[in-house]
């Protein structure tokens, strides 16, 4: 992240839904100030593969993640085919802090209020799938 200032993002609740997903916010056309973002109630679930760091089998493992906006959860599965089953893990996003990593521009950490932490890495900076 050369020439950029890294900042953590805290997710708050807005009518029971996470309120920190820039790709689903729209700028207020009447102003050019970066603070003038409007909350969108039409948030889509985002899903796709990320690498998750685990101490159990020390290292990075590909997992299929679903950002469940209705439930306010980040859920993950072993793979996309196991999605109809119970998630392998889930992290409540209300109050969570998402921080970029110093390692590279594709790694970040999600810290839940409970103290649970996911260290994740994307293969690139593209936006995930929706659905």
Q: How far apart are CA 60 and CA 54, in angstroms?
A: 6
Least confident of 4-8, 30-34, 61-65, 87-91: 30-34
Q: Taking the CA atoms of the chain, what radius of gyration do you get in angstroms?
A: 15
114 falls in which pLDDT band (50, 70, 90)? very high
Return the structure tokens found at 76.
Answer: 């993950």
* pLDDT score recorded for residue 53: 95
**9-26+36-130 domain in CATH 3.30.70.260?**
no
Would you list the domain boundaries of the chain?
9-26+36-130
Per-residue pLDDT reduced to its tens digit, 18-44? 444 433 333 334 433 344 444 445 568
Q: How far apart are CA 61 and CA 101, in angstroms?
A: 17
* pLDDT score recorded for residue 76: 97
Per DSSP, the residues of 48-90 read EEEEEEETTTTEEEEEEEEEETTTTEEEEESSGGGTTS--SEE
45 falls in which pLDDT band (50, 70, 90)? confident
Long-range contacts of 105-111 (CB under 8 A, 24+ apart): 105/1, 110/74
Q: What is the largest CA-CA distance in the chain?
A: 51
- Mean pLDDT, residues 46-72 taken together: 92
Name the pTM for this structure.
0.67
Q: Minimal CA–CA distance to 76: which of 128, 4, 24, 16? A: 128
| Residue in this structure with the two tokens 């039409």, named with its chain if needed | 42
Per-residue pLDDT reduced to its tens digit, 69-107? 989 999 999 999 999 999 999 999 999 999 999 989 999
């Amino acid at each position: 992240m050369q020439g950029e200032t890294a900042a953590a993002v805290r997710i708050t609740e807005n009518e029971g839904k996470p309120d920190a997903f820039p790709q689903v916010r729209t700028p207020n056309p009447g102003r050019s100030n970066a603070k003038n973002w409007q909350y969108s109630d039409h948030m889509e679930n985002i899903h796709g593969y990320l690498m998750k760091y685990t101490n159990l089998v020390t290292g990075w493992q590909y997992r299929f993640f679903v950002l469940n906006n209705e439930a306010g959860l980040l859920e993950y599965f072993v793979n996309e085919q196991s999605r109809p089953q119970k998630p392998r893990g889930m992290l409540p996003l209300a109050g969570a802090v998402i921080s970029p990593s110093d390692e590279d521009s594709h790694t970040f950490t999600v810290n839940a209020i409970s103290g649970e932490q996911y260290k994740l890495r994307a293969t690139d900076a593209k936006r995930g799938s929706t659905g």
